[in-house]
A and B are shown apart, each in its own frame.
Chain A
Amino acid sequence: MSTVDTHAGHSDTHHHDHHGPEKGWRRWLLATNHKDIGTMYLLFSLTMFFVGGLMALVIRAELFQPGLQLVNPQFFNSMTTMHALVMIFGAVMPAFVGLANWMIPLQIGAPDMALPRMNNFSFWILPFSFTLLLSTLFVEGGAPASGWTLYPPLSLQTGNAFPLSIFAIHLMGASSIMGAINVIVTIMNMRAPGMTLLKMPLFAWTWLITAYLLIAVMPVLAGAVTMLLTDHYFGTSFFSAAGGGDPVMYQHIFWFFGHPEVYIMILPAFGVISEIIPTFARKRLFGYDAMVYATASIAFLSFIVWAHHMFTVGMPLAGQMFFMLATMLIAVPTGVKVFNWTATIYKGSLSFEPPMLFALAFVFLFTIGGFSGLMLAIVPADFQYHDTYFVVAHFHYVLVPGAVFALMAGVYYWLPKWTGHMYNMTLAKWHFWLSAIFVNVLFFPQHFLGLAGMPRRIPDYNTQFADWNMISSIGAFGFGLSQLLFAVVIFQAIRGGAKATDKVWDSAAPHGLEWTLSSPPPYHSFEVAPEVK
């Protein structure tokens, strides 16, 4: 990566535009400022993180012991379905869009996002669409309970919640597409002079590639759920064998969206980690170019591996072989990334502030999730693991100590830049250690449960699974309660604290234009484009 050498003076705050932020509610409802919109995205996602977390705790409370204790099976299934939809579309994706909103214009030296009004539109759609989705908890027939994948024919048995949840998904998709268009246009059109693509910080790079994935697959999800809707209410037979369709066709279309979707949730995480590790290792990122190409390779491969989610549906042998081998190929670029992070740490002058702690835990724990993914990619092995808790353990390892830890690392990394205040380091470290311990107590035993044959999405189970389930549930409550510390640290930093310097981190290394601006940055960041050497 070439140095981003900016001179003081570009960050000066002389405004040509004398407008400050609007007063009161108008600032937020009518927002066009990328920082305000980024803040709304992040706070919305934090709220959804707790809503989805509560649903997870309902699940783990019911699974604390065998037998049916707290909720009926239908509601239990609603919880697994809603937990996933809320966490994916409400917590993780908006959080990354929030980071993108805040950081991409700062990192590339732009005055704002390229399409500021559409930026606001893509945010404000979300609270409305989650109102729709969450309202299904109270309608006749209950919330959707077919799993977030909404496989027919099961999902077609959903009651009045069905059109509400389908339309909610349409709106979330529209929001994501608009957000992605904004990211692409901002990066391709708004970079400061001299900021060539291969000088861009990796967070911007990974988001650029993620945005292409979003535009390519969110419309496909919209198509898939539209077919569900018409199959349910308007007499079409896309997924009905009686009419010449096929329920498996839904799975193909869904996972054509679904697999790129999981990379949509992890590629920006890779970007965040690639920013943080060099800062706290006080070294340049090892293999910048390789990181970019690896990200692009992962994105490309994500389009040709979808059927590994459905090895057990009975697809032709050639299909199984192709999807198995293509899937295993993803380990190569991912391995490049893990190698490069490790090589960046190697002989670095490390310090262990909260962002670095989360980043290191990410590298280690995400890799565990990657390895279990490799196991699942093997067709004959997958026949055993499919729909067991092993799968649950796998994707929670890549999503919780993976994507979510990267988000927390990113928040702890940039929070002083956003608020202008240093946060409570001690409390943040407590948050880290409690999270890192409990997340393993929570998810590691699920590997054993899955390998022993415990199926996913069931409210009751054989007594042989009792011990590990109890441990997992204890981990869940420990992890959930630890997250309250996260909220406390954030709100304390918003209210006040020691003044953060422009560079924030006591490191020679923090790269990127964001550190040339004051903390917090002026309302309109780069009205005069900085020169990047």
Chain B
Amino acid sequence: MAHADTTHAPSDKYYVPHSSPWPIVGSLALFTTVSGAAMLINDSSAGSIVFPLGLVLLAIMFAGWFGNVIKESESRLYNAAVDRSFRMGMMWFIFSEVMFFAAFFGALWYARQYSVPWLGGEGVKIFTKELLWPQYEASWPTNGPEQLGGEFGVIPAFGLPAINTAILLTSGVTITIAHHALKAGNRTVLNIFLALTFLLGFLFVYLQAHEYIEAYQHLNLTLGSGIYGSTFFMLTGFHGFHVTVGAIMLVVIWLRCVRGHFTPTHHFAFEGVAWYWHFVDVVWLGLFIFVYWL
């Protein structure tokens, strides 16, 4: 384990932790969480205990693991090479997240480009239309030839979504100001603008929840509204989840800033979270254009 000794400068030896309980706790937590989720889906009452238990274990794991890393970092156990490892690791983690969203954007693209036009009889698929649903006219948005979920309305792009776009873009600016302040050693500006960033993040999530309520209660736009509802809610839902996680990460970083962690040259955690925040921002721009606007 780390021997906290703040008098030492970062070592030139690559820090290899001796042993750690958190990975096995994390594996157990994931196992408990997904087992509980499976029980809930299979209508087994035990799920309502197992699933929350798993989430609690997950929270304990994250707190313990990151707490451990923060302690080591503040003890200056990480040299430049460890810092580079963290940077590369975060970068490739974000790339894997990009590919996860790519699957859902791909589904949206495929539906709009192929499956819906084909159901409408485009090109060689004329017999699909003639034989299955002769009355179906391809259009977008659509809940398909069987009108799954019934008539629905859509959220116009230049209402709440445009405001949310402005909010997220602004939060991208505030975190950049905070970063420059950190590098200039101006801790007051850092703390204020970092707080602004996560407040904007939570405001975004709040407005998104508001939008969902509007969709479900007034527009009859639900997860069951055919392919439009499926892509709309899965894309915006996973994005909203990522914004929530990102905002929680920002809060953690903010608490660390308030406690005086980080130096103008040594602040990987700040940058990692900032990258993540920009990533959710960019995904949102894709959503705004392809889900709401076009």
**Other-chain contact of A222, B34, B100, B145, B149 (Cβ < 8 Å):** B100
Q: How far is the CA of A245 from the CA of B110 in the complex (A)?
A: 9
Give the contacts of B6-51 with A (CB-CB under 8 A). 13-14, 16-24, 26-28, 30-31, 34-35, 37-38, 41-42
Decide yes or no: A22 and B19 within 8 Å by CB, A128-B27, A188-B88, A241-B132 being known contacts: yes
In the complex the two chains form, is B234's CB within 8 Å of A249's CB?
no
> Closest CB-CB distance, A56 to chain B, in whole Å?
27
In the complex the two chains form, is A117's CB within 8 Å of B223's CB?
no
Q: How far is the CA of A223 from the CA of B30 in the complex (A)?
A: 18
Chain B 113-127 per-residue mask, 1 if CB under 8 angstroms from chain A, else 0: 011101100011000
Decide yes or no: A235 and B145 within 8 Å by CB, A16-B13, A220-B103, A227-B234 being known contacts: no
In the complex the two chains form, is B20's CB within 8 Å of A220's CB?
no
Give the contacts of A214-257 with B (CB-CB under 8 A). 215-220, 222-224, 226-227, 229-231, 233-238, 240-246, 248-249, 252-253, 256
Q: How many residues of B contact A (CB 8 A)?
A: 69
- Give the residues in chain B near A217, CB-CB below 8 Å: 99
- Give the residues in chain A near B231, CB-CB below 8 Å: 238
Decide yes or no: A243 and B148 within 8 Å by CB, A124-B27, A253-B103 being known contacts: yes
Q: How many residues of A contact B (CB 8 A)?
A: 81
> Closest CB-CB distance, B212 to chain A, in whole Å?
14
In the complex the two chains form, is A128's CB within 8 Å of B30's CB?
yes
- Give the residues in chain B near A237, CB-CB below 8 Å: 143-144, 148, 224, 226-227, 229-230
Interface membership of B293, Cβ < 8 A: no
- Give the residues in chain B near A242, CB-CB below 8 Å: 144-146, 148
Q: How far is the CA of A170 from the CA of B34 in the complex (A)?
A: 9
**Other-chain contact of B230, A110, A224, A245 (Cβ < 8 Å):** A245
Q: How far is the CA of A406 from the CA of B170 in the complex (A)?
A: 53
In the complex the two chains form, is B89's CB within 8 Å of A115's CB?
yes
- Give the residues in chain A near B92, CB-CB below 8 Å: 180-181, 184-185, 215
In the complex the two chains form, is A128's CB within 8 Å of B234's CB?
no
Decide yes or no: A167 and B143 within 8 Å by CB, A185-B89, A230-B230 being known contacts: no
- Give the residues in chain B near A164, CB-CB below 8 Å: 35, 38
**Other-chain contact of A220, B88, B100, B132 (Cβ < 8 Å):** B100
In the complex the two chains form, is A163's CB within 8 Å of B38's CB?
yes
Give the contacts of A82-126 with B (CB-CB under 8 A). 110-112, 114-118, 120-121, 124-125
In the complex the two chains form, is B107's CB within 8 Å of A249's CB?
yes
- Give the residues in chain B near A495, CB-CB below 8 Å: none
Q: How far is the CA of A164 from the CA of B40 in the complex (A)?
A: 11
Q: How far is the CA of A32 from the CA of B1 in the complex (A)?
A: 11
Question: What residues make up the interface of B, taking CB atoms closer than 8 Å to A?
Answer: 13-14, 16-24, 26-28, 30-31, 34-35, 37-38, 41-42, 65, 81, 84-85, 88-89, 92-93, 95-97, 99-104, 106-107, 110-111, 114-116, 118-119, 123-124, 132, 142-146, 148-149, 222-224, 226-231, 233-234
- Please name 24 pairs of A and B residues whose Cβ atoms are closer than 8 Å in the assembled complex, sorted by A: A30-B21, A31-B19, A32-B20, A116-B16, A124-B26, A132-B31, A163-B37, A164-B35, A167-B37, A185-B85, A190-B85, A215-B92, A218-B96, A219-B97, A219-B100, A224-B103, A234-B223, A237-B143, A238-B230, A242-B145, A242-B148, A243-B146, A244-B145, A246-B115
Besides A117-B20, A184-B92, 17 other CB < 8 A contacts? A30-B21, A120-B20, A125-B27, A127-B27, A164-B38, A171-B34, A215-B92, A216-B96, A219-B103, A220-B100, A223-B104, A227-B234, A243-B146, A244-B142, A249-B107, A252-B106, A253-B103
